[in-house]
Amino acid sequence: MTWAATDLLLGIETSCDETAAAVVERGAVVVSSVVSSQVALHARYGGVVPELAGRAHLERLTGVVSEALESAGVSEPAHELGAVAVTYGPGLMGSLLVGLSGAKGLSMAWEVPLVGVNHLEGHLFAALLERPDLRWPLVVLLVSGGHTILVRVDGPGRYRVLGQTLDDAAGEAYDKVARYLGLGYPGGPALDRAAADGDPNAFDFPRALLSDGYDFSFSGLKTSVVRTVERHPGASSQDVAASFQRAVVDVLVTKARRAVAEVGATGLCLAGGVAANSLLRRAATEACRQDGVAAYLPSPAMCTDNAAMVAAAGWWRLAADGPSPLSLGAVPNLALPQAR
């Protein structure tokens, strides 16, 4: 079997609650990208139910893959695709297994190589896809529902984690606070919208570890929101949301900015679902402008989970490491590979 026979890769992503497939050319041009969100399915539970997520991936995956191939004009995948790239971790075990098993089946049927992709590396490649002009070294703030990581990136595959959350991820804090305030589901975007009508100075929430290294902690902030609402039962949820959001973004941007200066990075790049947050985008842009460095902000659709980023990371991994074995397992707690 020869690999990378063509320039087109199919990417598959099922690590959490989005069933996604995409066709990407040379890891750089998105030819098609289909994302089937399970938001409606999980909404009434106020959070992702892993068992339901796995079942929904199973029902949707073949349709999503067919749609991605069709809209890319790929009618003979066995001849037209160079590989199938798939997320093998981190994520929910039952969800990962669906995408991974599906990708293995397609790889065998079409006789094209399989490439396992680290979901976190996928988020890093999302920025690269849209900004091929990125220059190294870069500091990337990867903020999602499961992760909050500040990474020094010296090029594809060359990562050094500077700091990460000691407890809740930033997106998790958004989701929990939104749920507590009854703002709706999914919590992050709902809180973002509610905050637009609130006063960010109404409450002075804690900024944990603000001037202390690059690690983060958000669980105390969440507790502080609960205490504040208990003490001020009449407080407007918009004011609480805006004050919470201001505290989270202050911490994220202060640390990211310090890391950019210390690393001597050309700029700051945002990645992951929380990178779609309106205040974070504004604050990061303003901080970079003041510091005279570049701000790389992927489009909101590229910040949240999608398969184009998986195909882009897969293209690079295939060239760097070759195909993955068909025995590749799902790894729910997979970490970002660190440069030695």
Which stretches of the chain bind Zn ion, using CB under 5 A?
A: 144, 305
Asked if 313 is part of the footprint of ligand KG4 (rule: CB under 6 A), the reply reads no
Q: Using the rule CB under 6 A, which residue among 140, 274, 310, 318 binds ligand KG4?
A: 274
Residue whose CB is less far from ligand KG4, 163 or 273:
273
Q: Using the rule CB under 6 A, which residue among 81, 304, 310, 314 binds ligand KG4?
A: 304
Rounded least distance, CB 133 to ligand KG4, Å: 23
Q: Is the distance from CB of 273 to CB of 145 less than 8 angstroms?
A: yes
Give the Cα separation of 234 and 223 in Å (integer).
18
Residue with tokens 């805006």: 242
Give the Cα separation of 121 and 142 in Å (integer).
10
Residue whose CB is less far from ligand KG4, 14 or 224:
14
Asked if 175 is part of the footprint of ligand KG4 (rule: CB under 6 A), the reply reads yes
Rounded least distance, CB 190 to ligand KG4, Å: 8
Please give the span between the terminal C-alpha atoms of the chain, in angstroms, as a whole number.
Answer: 32
Asked if 116 is part of the footprint of ligand KG4 (rule: CB under 6 A), the reply reads no
Strands 114-118 and 81-89: parallel
Give the Cα separation of 56 and 20 in Å (integer).
12
Is the peptide bond prior to 156 cis by the omega test (within 30 degrees of 0)? no
Rounded least distance, CB 4 to ligand KG4, Å: 27
Q: Is the distance from CB of 96 to CB of 321 less than 8 angstroms?
A: no
Asked if 305 is part of the footprint of ligand KG4 (rule: CB under 6 A), the reply reads yes
Rounded least distance, CB 29 to ligand KG4, Å: 22
Rounded least distance, CB 278 to ligand KG4, Å: 6
**DSSP letter for each residue of 265-317:** -SEEEEESGGGG-HHHHHHHHHHHHHHT-EEE---HHHHS--SHHHHHHHHHH
Q: Using the rule CB under 6 A, which residue among 77, 94, 171, 200 binds ligand KG4?
A: 171
- Each residue 120-149 as x (binds ligand KG4 by CB under 6 A) or -, in order, gives ------------------------xxx---
* Contact residues for ligand KG4, defined by CB under 6 A: 16, 144-146, 171, 174-175, 186-189, 192, 272-274, 276-277, 304-305
